[in-house]
C-alpha cells in the first residue's frame, strides 16, 4: 500500500467500518452457522472485505470466497481487447456461482466502483459487454431474483466514487465525507446499529401491512410532467426491509433501504412520467428521462442526456420497455435529506419513489416462492434480462391508490405518506 492509499484508508472511521461489516453479516445476511459466503467487491474495498470475513467466520461461516474487481483492469479491456471480446462473458464462472447458490451459499456484494468509469468508452461496446454478462449471469440471477438464498448489498467509499460525489474536495476529504454519508444511511453511526435496524424494519413492516390490506388495483402518480397510472400485478404483495428467503433466512438484501415495493402489471401501465434525478447506468449519466406508456409498454422515450444509451437499454429485449417494480419512498427519507446525488442506485433509489424497467421480483406475489415463471407471467409479472431503477418521486408528487371498484385512497401527498 502506498502512503497515499494509507491516507485514503485512514480517512474512514475504523469503528464505523467495523460496525458496517457486522451489520452486513448479522442484519444484511443473517449468515447461518456453517453457511458458505460468496462475495464480490472492488479491490479498493479490501479493508471492508477483511472485516466482513472476520465477522462471517465469527458467526460460523463455512468458507468465505471473495472475487475482487479493479477499475484499471476493466479499462484495459476497453482499450486493448479485440472487438469479439465484447460479446463474451466468463460463463464457466457464473455457472459455478449458480451452483454455489443451489448449495445454499449466501451472496454479498460490496459496491463502490466509480459510477462514471465507462463514460468515455464506446456505448455500443459497453452495451454488448453488459448483454453478454447479463446472459451468462441469468442462471445465477434467477436464484437471487427468486430469493432462493439470503443476499445483501452494501457500499464502500472508494476514492474514485467519492470524487464523483464531492468533485470539489481533495481525495481524502471526499472519501471521509462519502464514508460518513454511507455510515449514516446504513444506520451504523449510532452505538447500537443492530437495534436500529430492528426498529427500522418494524416501521417498514407497518407500511407493507397497510398496503397489502388495501389491495389496490393501481397507483396513480401526479406531479410536474407526470400523470402515470401503474396497474399492479394480480395477487401482488408489498415488501420492504427484512424479508424471508426460500432457505428460511430472514435477511435485509439492501443496506441502506427505505423503500416499500411491489410488482406492477406488465400490460397495465398508462401515461407519462419524468425522472426526478439523473440515472447513473454503467458509466453513463441518463438525465431528464421522459417516457410515455401505452398498454404497459414504453412507446416514446426521451432524455436530455444519455438518450442513445437509454434507447439501447430499452431495446435489450421485449421486457425492457415494461415495468418490473414500483417503489414508494417518502421525500423525508434520510438519504433524500442528505441532499446528495450518489450516482449509485443502492442509495439514490432510496431517496425517492421509483419504478424499474425489466425483470420483476418473484417474491412480490402472494405465495410468490411457489409460483412458476409461467404463473408469474400470467399474473402480470414482467420478464427481462435487465432491472433498472429510476427515480420519479419528489416533494411535488401525489399518489392515489385505486381500488378495483374505482375508489381512490390518498397514499402520498407532496412526497410524504398521506
Least distance between Zn ion and beta carbon 232 (Å): 15
* Element (DSSP H or E) covering residue 141: helix 123-145
CA distance 280 to 310: 11
For Zn ion, give the closer residue by CB, 48 or 289.
Answer: 289
DSSP category for residue 44: G
Torsion of CA 244, 250, 255, 260, to 10 degrees: 40
Which of 249, 226, 257 is CA-nearest to residue 329?
257
Q: How many helices (H) and strands (E) does the chain have?
A: 13, 21
For Zn ion, give the closer residue by CB, 49 or 356.
Answer: 356
CA distance 300 to 292: 5
**Beta strands, E only, 214-305:** 218-223, 226-232, 239-240, 243-244, 250-251, 260-262, 264-274, 279-281, 284-286, 290-294, 297-302
Least distance between Zn ion and beta carbon 254 (Å): 8
Least distance between Zn ion and beta carbon 363 (Å): 12
Least distance between Zn ion and beta carbon 289 (Å): 15
N- to C-terminal Cα distance for the chain?
A: 52
Residues that bind Zn ion (CB under 5 A): 259, 261, 325, 327, 349, 356, 389
**Beta strands, E only, 336-378:** 354-358
For Zn ion, give the closer residue by CB, 22 or 325.
Answer: 325
For Zn ion, give the closer residue by CB, 105 or 263.
Answer: 263
Least distance between Zn ion and beta carbon 261 (Å): 5
Least distance between Zn ion and beta carbon 88 (Å): 27
Least distance between Zn ion and beta carbon 324 (Å): 8
For Zn ion, give the closer residue by CB, 204 or 327.
Answer: 327
Least distance between Zn ion and beta carbon 409 (Å): 22
User: Quick check: 156 and 178 in contact, CB under 8 A?
Assistant: no
**Beta strands, E only, 30-72:** 37-42, 64-69
Cell 424499474 sits at which residue? 356
Least distance between Zn ion and beta carbon 173 (Å): 31
Cell 419504478 sits at which residue? 355
DSSP 76-114: HHHHHS-GGGGG---HHHHHHHHHHHHTT-EEEEEE---
For Zn ion, give the closer residue by CB, 17 or 397.
Answer: 397
Size of the chain, expressed as the number of residues it contains = 418
Amino acid at each position: 500500500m502506498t502512503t497515499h492509499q494509507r491516507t485514503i484508508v485512514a480517512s474512514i472511521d475504523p469503528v464505523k467500518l467495523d460496525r458496517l461489516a457486522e451489520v452486513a453479516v448479522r442484519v444484511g445476511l443473517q449468515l447461518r452457522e456453517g453457511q458458505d459466503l460468496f462475495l464480490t467487491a472492488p479491490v479498493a474495498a479490501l479493508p471492508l472485505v477483511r472485516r466482513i470475513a472476520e465477522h462471517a467466520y465469527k458467526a460460523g461461516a463455512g468458507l468465505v470466497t471473495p472475487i475482487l474487481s479493479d477499475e484499471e483492469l476493466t479499462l484495459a479491456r476497453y482499450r486493448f481487447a479485440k472487438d469479439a471480446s465484447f460479446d463474451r462473458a466468463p460463463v464457466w464462472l457464473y455457472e459455478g456461482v449458480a451452483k454455489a447458490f443451489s448449495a445454499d451459499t449466501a451472496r454479498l456484494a460490496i459496491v463502490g466502483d466509480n459510477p462514471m468509469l465507462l463514460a468515455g468508452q464506446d456505448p455500443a461496446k459497453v452495451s454488448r459487454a453488459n448483454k453478454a454478462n447479463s446472459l451468462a449471469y441469468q442462471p445465477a440471477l434467477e436464484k437471487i431474483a427468486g430469493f432462493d438464498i439470503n443476499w445483501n448489498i452494501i457500499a464502500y467509499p472508494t476514492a474514485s466514487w467519492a470524487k464523483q460525489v464531492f468533485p470539489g474536495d481533495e481525495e481524502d476529504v471526499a472519501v471521509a465525507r462519502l464514508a460518513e454519508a454511507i455510515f449514516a444511511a446504513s444506520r451504523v453511526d449510532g452505538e447500537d446499529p443492530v437495534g436500529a435496524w430492528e426498529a427500522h424494519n418494524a416501521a417498514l413492516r407497518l407500511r407493507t401491512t397497510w398496503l397489502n390490506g388495501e389491495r389496490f388495483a393501481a397507483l396513480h402518480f401526479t406531479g410536474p410532467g407526470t400523470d402515470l397510472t401503474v396497474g399492479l400485478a394480480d395477487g401482488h404483495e408489498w415488501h420492504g426491509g427484512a424479508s424471508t428467503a426460500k432457505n428460511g433466512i430472514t435477511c435485509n438484501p439492501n443496506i441502506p433501504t427505505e423503500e416499500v415495493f411491489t410488482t406492477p402489471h406488465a400490460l397495465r401501465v398508462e401515461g407519462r412520467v419524468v425522472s426526478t434525478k439523473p440515472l447513473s447506468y454503467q458509466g453513463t449519466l441518463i438525465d431528464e428521462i421522459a417516457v410515455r406508456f401505452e398498454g404497459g409498454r414504453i412507446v416514446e422515450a426521451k432524455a436530455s442526456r444519455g438518450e442513445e444509451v437509454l434507447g439501447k437499454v430499452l431495446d435489450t429485449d421485449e421486457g425492457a420497455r415494461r415495468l418490473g417494480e414500483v417503489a414508494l419512498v417518502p421525500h423525508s427519507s434520510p438519504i433524500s435529506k442528505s441532499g446528495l446525488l450518489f450516482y449509485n442506485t443502492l442509495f439514490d433509489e432510496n431517496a425517492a419513489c421509483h419504478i424499474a424497467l425489466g425483470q420483476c421480483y418473484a417474491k412480490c406475489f402472494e405465495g410468490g416462492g411457489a409460483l412458476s415463471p409461467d404463473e408469474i407471467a400470467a399474473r402480470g409479472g414482467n420478464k427481462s434480462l435487465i432491472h433498472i431503477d429510476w427515480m420519479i418521486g419528489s416533494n411535488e408528487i401525489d399518489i392515489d391508490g385505486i381500488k378495483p371498484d374505482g375508489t381512490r385512497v390518498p397514499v402520498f401527498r407532496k412526497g410524504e405518506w398521506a
